[in-house]
Structures are given as C-alpha cells and as structure tokens.
Structure 1
Amino acid sequence: MHKDELIQLHTLMAQIRKHFEHMGLSPYGEYDSLSISPLHVHRSKAEHKHAIFVLGNDIASALSQDDVSGMGRTSIRMHELATRASENIANTN
C-alpha cells in the first residue's frame, strides 16, 4: 500500500473510533500513546501502518466487549500485526 492510501485508511479508522466514542464504546488503548493522527502526513509510512494496526486492535477490543463472535480473535491478530510493525519501525531507525 502507498503512504497516501495508508493515511486514507488511518483517517477512516480514526472516524470509526470517534463514532464508537459517540456511541458510548470506549476504544481507548495504546493508540492514544502513539501521538500520531492521520493529519501527521510528515510521519513515516511505517508509523502510519503501525498506528492503523494499533487502532484496529483498540476498535476490535471495544467491539469484543459486546460481541462474542470473531472480534476477540481479530483483536489478538491486530495486536500481533501492531507488534510486528513496531519492530519494523525500530529496525529502520
């Protein structure tokens, strides 16, 4: 995926998160500690990719609180992907 596509996906997921917050679900987690938003276009492609995985994990975790379907497994997978993306960032710096 190109950086601009990742930023678009990051934007969409941030909007989903905001919608969940409005609905009373609280997808707060590791994403807030990253200090990155879709507006930070100067940040690296790898950092946006990591943020997407972390945000996906936060959203999936929030959904799994009310849903016993596959969301719990999705949360675990997103966490694994976020960890891998974080390791890639550390290796490139």
Structure 2
Amino acid sequence: MMTDKLRLLGFGAEVTVSSPSLSKIKVAEDVNGIGNNYFPIESFGTRHRSAFRFCSSYENSVAFVISQDGGVKAIKRVGADIVLWPDINLSYLGI
C-alpha cells in the first residue's frame, strides 16, 4: 500500500473494504479496457480480491498486483466495471 505521494505504507496487506455488490471483474483485451470476459472474484487470490475491493470503493484509484516472478497486473474502476489488465508490459520503461 502506498499513498498518492508514493510513500510506502506497507506490503502484504489485505484490504478489507466492504464491497457487497462486487461479484465479478472484467478482463481487458486491450489498453482501453475493452473486453467481454467477466470472471467471478472468487476465481482470484487474496491479493487480487483485495485490489478489486479497493478500486471498487475508491473511484479514482488504480492498483497494481506484482508477482515475484515479474508479472504485473493493473486494476481500475471504469464506469461500473472493475477492469483487470492481466499483463502490463514494463519493458518500455526499462523495468
């Protein structure tokens, strides 16, 4: 968890924000978040569900789920949908 100034608050945290209406997320098929594939949030682990709940509760937020094997996923609320970009390519940033 980081602040809007990128100050590290902690890692390995589970966000327990209540989002009772959140039951599914949309997986983006392009950079604009276009896609028709919806998946139940139960299909994902704790880190992902935590990020989904956070983005669902805070409209202008974005979450990144970073895997120790190098994969990076982004999550953002777009309209009424929570959208997951499953593979953020960071190579153009030199990361």
User: Normalised by the shorter chain, which TM-score bucket?
Assistant: 0.3 to 0.5
* Higher RCO, Cα 8 Å, sep 6+: 1
Q: Between Structure 1 and Structure 2, which shows a larger proportion of strand residues?
A: 2
